[in-house]
Each structure stands twice: as structure tokens, then as C-alpha cells.
Chains A and B, each alone.
Chain A
Amino acid sequence: MPVRRVARWLAGLSVALAALGVAAPTQAQDKKIKIGVIFDLTGPLAGGGSELQYTGVKIMLDHYAKTGVEGYKVEAVYADAQSKPDIAINEAVRLLEQEKVDMVMGFFSSAQCVPVAARVDQMKKFMWITTCISSGVFDGKNYKYVFRPQAAGNQYGMMTTDFIAQYSLSKFGKEPKDLRVAIIHEDGAYGVDVSKGNEAGAKKAGFNIVLKEGYSATAPDLSALVTKLKRAKPDVIFHTGYNPDITLLFRQAREQGLKFGAIVGHGAGYGVYEKLKEGLGADANYLFNTDPISIWLANQKGMDPKLPPVIKMVGEEFDKLKPGVPIRSAHVGIGAANAYVFLDDVLPRAIKKYGGVDPDALRKAALDTDIPEGGTMLGYGVKFYGEGEQYAGQNARSFPVVLQYIDDKSYVVWPKSQMQRETVLPLPAGTTYSYK
């Protein structure tokens, strides 16, 4: 009898333990982080790269929705900013106050980032910017809850001028002081910020700036700008634009006979090669784009070994969503890579070290981030400027690269540490815009 009773007790205990064993993870899985994701899915910015960035972030969030993070479920709530700053602000507030998301992520347009960051920080909520680049988001603001692993706009502008300065003599046969450069840009926060970097870089290099001008990305006509460029006769044009203003500029430049040695773009519309190709045909050949490196072009040898399989996964998921795209857009990789930094590095630390996903835990975890160069899919490291610094919240280790589209492929041509091939500079004779 006692044996039977002991057996019964043991059986009962086993069932109870099993039940507890099942219940424990269930309870853990009840914990979740709700992430509000905001991109432009309609309006002019959607096709200019925002939808691709959204795709990259979504691929990563879908992946972590399956696996969870440290026992927390990952749930995403998506919102469309409709290419309008006021909608972006309203949606961020709605997600935080009504949908009760724990944080917001994404943001394509700098014109949206600047006001949304101010509002979210004021609400003491956590914001993780994957995409927009304006330095104005952080410059002197000293935000506590806003973080951005992405490179800043002034870095874009200075990277391209540095690139041209290095080749001024060898490729153009001119000292930098004799090189005529024009800086043109859309007049939103993004274009203005990059152009400031261009101007600072051009002055540092000693270029002769023959024209600096902004324009509205929705302007129906850029012919006056093209005429001024013809009059200024620049060797190199530094251009920051969305789309379709980029294709409009090139179309009118061709029609009005504008010639130059090179045109260097800075992300956004220049990052969507298939659209450039569709709009410009063969003239898309030899264009430059400055952006964080495409994750599919990054040198995987110097990279954290856990990253190549993630890059492969992102590529496969993207191919399933958009089959037949000739060049996987860098936009997708940027969105995925910067979302991954949060989900793989910051979030686990917030949960394990700081006990949860509240804004303060996420903030402390973000400030602890210390990823060396090669530790992200975009090649750069991550270390955020801390409180009291001019760019508090901005990644101090990020950098863009200069890419060149050559024969339907994209190559890193600058900086030298990442260079994949010799650049073609200036435009070869016989091409539409070549001044040779």
C-alpha cells in the first residue's frame, strides 16, 4: 500500500511539475514587446524607398515574431505616414497612446523624423530610427529616448566630397581648387542636411562651388535649374533627391543638353536602382549613390560570423516578396540591419539586465550598446553618443559608402577599406551626359 501511495504521489507530482513546466513558458510568452512601426506606404515617398525600408524592417520583425526574444513575444503594429509629417506625428502618438505600443521604430523621411523625435522624447517613450538621416534630428537636442544606428546626413555629404577630392587630380586632371562643383538638393530636412555636409566637405577640399541650390521635390519643372547648371558648367554635381524628382532632373538635363563629369547621389531615390533604370534607361549606368553599404555587398570576411546567415535569410525573404528584382535595393538591407541591431542586441539586454521593455530599460540598454566595426550587417559598429553630447542618441560608429552602378551591378568604390572595384570617373565619352 505505501508503495502504491508513494507511486500515486509521485505520479501526481509529475503531472503537477509537467503542468508547471508547460505553464512557465506560457507565462513567459505572455510577456511581449509591442513595436509600432511607421513608414510611408502611400504618397510620393513610398515609391522613393520607404516601402523598401518597411519591407526590410518587416522581414526582421516577422522573423523575431516566430522566435521571440528572451521569452518575450515580438508583436508589430504598422502605420502609414502617407508621406506627410503631420500624419507621422499623429500616428506615432496614436500608436503610443491608443495601441499602447512599447516603442516606435522606422521612419523614412527626415521631415517626419525631426518633429516625431521631439514629440516621442517629450512623451518619454522609446524611439528607434532605422532610416532617416537628417543630423537635425539630434543636433543639440539632447534627447534621452531617441536612438539611431543609421549614418547621419552630414556624413553622407562629406563622404562624397571626400571621394571626389581623392580623385580630382588623377581622374579629372584638376587640382581640387580648380574643380567646379554644384550642390543641388530637395529642400526638405533630408536634402538640406546632406547639402550642408556637401558644402562643408567641398570647402574642406577647396572645391570651386559654382552653384548651390534647393528645389521642391514635387516641383513640376526643373528646367530653370538645368539652365543654371549649364551656365555654371560644373565638373561634378552633388545631388540629393527623392523620386520622381531625380528622373525629372535627368530627363530635363538630357533634353536641355546638360553635360558634366559625374553626378553623385545620396540615398533615397538613388538607392532604388530598378526605378532609375526604368526612368533613365542606359543613362543609369555609372551613376553614384552614397548610402550605407548594401548588406549583400558587405565584406562578410570581417563580419561577425552570426551575420551572414541572417543576410541570407533577408535576401531569400525579399526574393519571395519581390521576385525578379535585378539588384536587391540597399534600402531593404538598411531597414533589416538596423532593426536587427535592436532586436538582437538592445532588446535582449533590456530584458535581461534592466528587467523589461519599458522606455528606461530600453534606453539604458541602448546606451550600453558597444558593437565594434564589422558587428552589423552594414559593416559599421554601434556606439551611441551619450547624454550631454551634441549628437546624443546618434550612432558614433556609422558611416556610408559610395556605390557606383556599372552594367546593372552595384559596386562599392569608396572608402578604400571597402572598395570592390576601381571607379569609372568621369563619365565615359559617348554617354549621354558626358562632357568629354
Chain B
Amino acid sequence: MQSFLDIFDIYLLEAVINGILLGGVLALLALGLNLIFGVIDVTWICYAELVMIGMYGMYYLVQVFHLPYWAAAPLVILLVALLGAALHFFVIAPLLTAPPINQLLATGGVLFILQSFATVAFGIDFRNLGIRLPVLALGEMNFSYARLLSFAAALIGMVCVYLFLTRTFTGTAIRAIAQDRQIMPLMGVDPKRIYLVTSAIGGGLAGLAACLLVLQYDVHPFVGLSFGPITFLICVLGGLGNFIGGFIAAFVFAEIISLGGLFSDLEWGYVLAFAFFIVMMFIRPAGLLARRS
């Protein structure tokens, strides 16, 4: 009994809070991917690679061109937003009416192109931004400001996207076109423009994630491998295209990883998270917040 009670210590609380902060990172990553899928109905398999390009952008602007972090961040968000728009224009738009598997394979191809491009252009070295944010200490518990920032950015990002989608004409058009792609052109909405705007916003969110992740992780051409699959799973778990579902799924997933890793081996945390995903796919195939039909 005592050994069981021993686990309820300060470290358990730290693990819970760290899980929430990791959830913030994952939620931030899932936000853009969900937006793209929700509106255009295409899954960008290469989404994490856009984040990787953004991280390189931050590295070069801050370390090589000596821009302050706060000045580099908007430029990177803009750069990745443009990249997102270009991805839609050159790759997705010609395939909009193609079968979903073709679209998936095309964005998969872009994934390999971006990885290879980064390898050739930036080399295989791990690069570090060299910025070390202070640590928030609460008694024996310590928390990373970089993660707190990601958490706050994920919350603010979600609220902003929500407000944009509900309070602006373009946002309303985006939601409308997500509901019926065929009918909206009859009401004067240019779907091409809407898709381009949505892709740019999705790219911009990837850029925002890049600005925050580069404070926590080294950048290298394959950094996307650490995040890509897990981000995709979170989006599916939350219900592809469902922002709130994705947001909640990110925190559920992160808590399972964090607490599973604390009570057992770290690997078991991931095993449990993926097992949970599979079980939920049986129980709620359309995602955590899907309505029963």
C-alpha cells in the first residue's frame, strides 16, 4: 500500500504538467493540419517537413543573419505561409478532383523532396538556435518557458483561428466551402482563392510551430520524423478537420505518453498512447468528438 502511495509525489504532478505542456506542442502542430483537412479535404503528409523548413529559416535568420528572434519569427511565419500557398498551387490544386490516395501520395512525394532538399541545401548537421530561455521553478518542480510559450501559442492560435473562421467573411466562406465545395461558387465565392488562403493560413501555423519548436529541438533534415506521424495520429484521433477534437486529442495523447512513461518505461508511454489510438478507432472511428450516428 505504501509503495502504491509513494507514486503520488511531487514528481507525479510534474509529469502531469509536463504532459499538458507537451500537449501544447502537439496541439500547435495539429492545428494547421486540421485546418487544411477540414477545408480542402486533403491531408498534407508533408506538414512536419514545412515545420522543418521553418525551423531552418529561424536558424539562418537568427544565427547567420543575426536578426533578433522576435524579428525573425514573423518573417518565417510569412515564408512558410507562402510555401503552404505554393504547395497548394503547384501540387494540390491540379489534384483536387483526383482520388484521395493520389493526393496523399503527392504530398508524400513532397515530403521526400523537402527532406532531400534540406539535406542538399543545409547539410546533415544538427543545428541549434543557441537561445536558452529561463526556467520557471516552483519548489522542486521546474518548467520550460519554451514549452509554456508553445502551450500559450497553441491556445491563442486556436482562439484566433476560431475567431477568424467565425467573425470574418473569408472565414465564413472557408467554413461554407468546407461544407459544400460545389454549391459555393454559385454564391459568388471563388473556391480557388479560398483554398489558397486556407493553405497559406495552414502554412503560417506550421511557421508558428517552427518558431516555437526551434527553441526546444535541434533542426536537421529529418526532424519531421519525430513529429509527423504523431501529429497525424492526433488529427485522426480528434477527428480530421475538427479543431477542438484535435486540441483535446493532443492533450490526451501527451498525458498518456507522459504518465505512461513515468509509471513504466518511456517506451511504454508511446505503446499505451498508440494502443489507445487503435482502441478509439474501433470505438469512435470518426474521432473523439464525433457525434454518434
Contacts and interface: CB of A to CB of B under 8 A. Distances in A.
A218 B225 contact: yes
B130 interface: yes
A140 interface: no
Contacts of B126: 47-48, 243-244, 247, 275, 278-279
Given A42-B119, A46-B124, A187 B14 contact: no
Interface in A386-435: none
A223 B142 contact: no
Interface string B258-277: 11111001110110000000
A223 B128 CA distance: 19
B216 to A, nearest CB: 7
A204 B223 CA distance: 39
Interface string A214-225: 111011111111
B266 A257 contact: no
B128 A279 contact: yes
A33 to B, nearest CB: 29
Contacts of B9: 231
B180 interface: no
Contacts of A281: 130, 132
Most buried by B among A215, A220, A254: A220
Contact of A248 (B124, B217, B230): B217
Interface string A223-234: 111011011000
B230 A257 contact: no
B60 interface: no
B69 interface: no
Interface in B111-130: 116, 119, 124-128, 130
Contact of A227 (B14, B125, B230, B265): B14
A84 to B, nearest CB: 11
A223 B22 CA distance: 9
Interface string A31-45: 000000000011110
B interface residue count range (under 10 / 10 to 19 / 20 to 34 / 35 or more): 35 or more
B266 A219 contact: yes
Interface in A30-74: 41-44, 46-48, 51
A248 B218 CA distance: 8
A47 B222 CA distance: 11
B124 A244 contact: no
A251 interface: yes
B153 to A, nearest CB: 17
A216 B270 contact: yes
A227 B135 contact: no
Contacts of B143: 255-256
B265 A214 contact: yes
Contacts of B217: 220, 244, 248
A215 B226 contact: no
Interface in B195-219: 216-218
A221 B267 CA distance: 11
**Interface size class for chain A?**
35 or more
Residue of A51, A219, A243, A247 contacting most chain B CB atoms (<10 Å): A219
Contacts of A248: 217-218
Give the one of B128, B257, B258, B269 with max A CB within 10 A: B128
Contacts of B254: 221
B220 A224 contact: no
A119 B220 CA distance: 31
B112 to A, nearest CB: 11
Contacts of A44: 220, 222, 225
B267 A278 contact: no
B5 to A, nearest CB: 14
Given A44-B220, A47-B220, A231-B9, A255 B142 contact: yes
A230 B18 CA distance: 14
A47 B257 contact: no
Interface string B142-166: 1110110000000000000000000
A38 to B, nearest CB: 16
Of B126, B132, B217, which is in contact with the most chain A CB atoms at under 10 Å from its CB?
A: B126
Contacts of B257: 221, 224
A252 interface: yes
Contacts of B57: none
Interface string A191-233: 0000000000000000000000111101111111101101100
A230 B222 CA distance: 30
A257 B227 CA distance: 25
Contact of A213 (B15, B22, B216, B265): B265
A47 B9 CA distance: 39
B124 A41 contact: yes
Interface string A243-276: 1100110011011110000000000000000010
Contacts of B260: 224
20 contacts: A42-B116, A42-B124, A44-B220, A213-B265, A214-B267, A215-B265, A215-B266, A220-B22, A221-B254, A221-B257, A221-B258, A224-B18, A224-B260, A224-B262, A227-B11, A244-B218, A244-B223, A247-B128, A257-B137, A278-B127
Interface of B: 9, 11, 14-15, 18, 22, 25, 116, 119, 124-128, 130, 132, 135, 137, 140-144, 146-147, 216-218, 220-223, 225-227, 230, 254, 257-262, 265-267, 269-270
Given A215-B267, A225-B261, A247-B218, 11 more contacts: A46-B124, A218-B226, A220-B217, A222-B266, A224-B269, A225-B266, A227-B11, A231-B11, A255-B143, A256-B144, A278-B126
Smallest CB-CB A-B distances: 7 pairs = A224-B261, A257-B142, A255-B144, A46-B124, A244-B218, A223-B18, A220-B226
